[in-house]
């Protein structure tokens, strides 16, 4: 970015973006990695995040938004620390994805697009996440879980709860 223009990102991430943009012959090729890194740091793609990325890549905000909206792992509003995405597209649906989704609703006491009051979990119903042969499939942040049955749900939730507690104690 131009010297003197303030970044909303941490100095480390801003420096990383400066390098990334120079790495590709066509600047916009850096868009997806930048969106992922930005989301990891900011939690979601806010207006300010989209505006800065657009500026850095000489794109319009609409162009950034159009690309970002195609990817289910990118989000435009805050999510829980662990964002649980349950695929209910055709292959997963035929193998019981809605039973899995319902079990997550019961376990977390939230509906899709909701976040638990402690901010630990959010739940989303999403389109295909590319694991159709192993459905029902879910994604928790960057972790894939496949062939999920409703009975697996308490263990998955408990695993992430334990992980959060362990990380909190470090
Ligand atoms: S249909 Fe669920 S992963 Fe493709």
CA atoms of 82 and 49, how far apart (whole Å): 20
Whether 11-68 and 82-169 share one fold: the answer is: no
Structural domain boundaries in the chain: 11-68, 82-169
Q: Is 87 in the pocket of ligand 1 (CB under 6 A)?
A: yes
pLDDT number for residue 73 = 81
Bridge-partner residues for 125, per DSSP? 86
CA atoms of 146 and 35, how far apart (whole Å): 26
Condensed to tens digits (0 to 9), the pLDDT of residues 49-108 reads 999 999 999 999 999 999 999 887 899 988 999 999 999 999 999 999 999 999 999 999
Structure tokens at 117: 């009051």
Q: What pTM was estimated for this model as a whole?
A: 0.80
Q: Is 101 in the pocket of ligand 1 (CB under 6 A)?
A: no
CA atoms of 129 and 131, how far apart (whole Å): 6
What's the 102 CA to ligand 1 centre distance in angstroms?
17
Q: Which fold has domain 11-68?
A: Arc Repressor Mutant, subunit A (1.10.10)
CA atoms of 104 and 110, how far apart (whole Å): 8
CA atoms of 84 and 44, how far apart (whole Å): 14
Q: Which CATH class is domain 82-169?
A: alpha beta
């Amino acid at each position: 970015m131009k010297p003197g223009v303030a970044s909303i990102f941490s100095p480390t991430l801003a420096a990383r973006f400066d390098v990334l943009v120079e790495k590709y012959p066509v600047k916009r090729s850096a868009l997806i990695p930048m969106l992922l890194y930005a989301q990891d740091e900011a939690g979601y793609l806010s207006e300010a995040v989209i505006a800065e990325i657009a500026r850095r890549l000489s794109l319009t905000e609409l162009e950034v938004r159009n690309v970002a909206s195609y990817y289910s792992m990118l989000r435009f509003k805050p999510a829980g620390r662990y964002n649980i995405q349950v695929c209910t597209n055709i292959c997963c649906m035929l193998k019981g994805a809605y039973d899995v989704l319902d079990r997550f609703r019961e376990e977390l006491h939230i509906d899709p697009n909701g976040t638990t009051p402690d901010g630990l979990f959010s739940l989303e119903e999403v389109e295909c996440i590319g694991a159709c042969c192993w459905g029902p499939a879910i994604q928790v942040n960057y972790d894939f879980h496949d062939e999920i049955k409703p009975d697996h749900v308490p263990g998955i939730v408990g695993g992430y709860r334990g992980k959060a507690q362990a990380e909190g104690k470090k």
